[in-house]
Chain A
């Protein structure tokens, strides 16, 4: 399957600082990337969808000014958690979709996740 690389895998930061997470599709071009968040013992929750060169679309309840998403190329998307607070501590997972709309091979591949701990 296709490979999605996410970096860093683990980060600890002080409250009030910003953290950037990178997501790269290594062997395919991803016109669409997704960012999810997962709290302990819960399922993944979609935060936002981003298309290359366009503004991200955020799910209801997700603050766009707090979670900045940039999808500047077909292989890279970044999520910046601005002014992080302890309640932002979570497991953040990116996903990239291969193929184009209507393709039967339109599969989302996931990164390994980033565990963020805000002190």
Chain B
């Protein structure tokens, strides 16, 4: 699995875009970048994943740099309910998810 590095915490004002960075400089060509989040006392929630192209779904957008060494998860209009710990994980499709410490996002009024 690729080693990922994320800032321990970030703040974002409600209604603004939240941009969460992740470094994965050792990611290999067949490893995807997955993003999950965990709201307090709940199981992790799948957000999005991608290989090399940018991806967008109803929850977020994932921007992956051309060299694939880093990516950014974008929540376009953060709400208080987006307050959570966000995990960036680089793995192959048949591998198991292992969680680091993630980024604790605090959305404020």
Interface mask (B28-57 → A, CB under 8 Å = 1, otherwise 0): 000010101010011111100101000000
Whether A108 touches B43, Cβ cut-off 8 Å, given contacts A43-B100, A44-B99, A46-B98, is no
Q: A99 CA to B96 CA in the complex, in Å? A: 13
**By the criterion of a CB under 8 Å from any partner CB, how many residues of chain B are at the interface?**
22
Q: Could you mark each residue 7-43 of chain A with 1 if its beta carbon is under 8 Å from any beta carbon of chain B, else 0?
A: 0000000000000000000000000001010000001
Q: Which of B84-105 contact A (CB under 8 A)?
A: 87, 93-94, 96-102
Count of chain A residues near B, Cβ 8 A: 27
Q: Pick from B32, B41, B51, B93: contact of A101, CB below 8 A.
A: B93
CA distance A83 to B54 in the complex (A): 49
Q: Is the interface of B mostly helix, strand, loop or mixed?
A: loop
* Cβ of A103 under 8 Å from chain B: yes
Whether the Cβ atoms of A104 and B93 lie closer than 8 Å is yes
Residues of A within 8 A of B49 (CB): 107
Known contacts A1-B46, A6-B43; is-contact A43 B94 (Cβ 8 Å): no
CB distance from B53 to the nearest CB of A (A): 11
B interface, CB within 8 angstroms of A: 32, 34, 36, 38, 41-46, 49, 51, 87, 93-94, 96-102
7 contacts between A and B (CB under 8 A): A44-B38, A91-B41, A106-B94, A108-B46, A110-B36, A112-B43, A113-B42
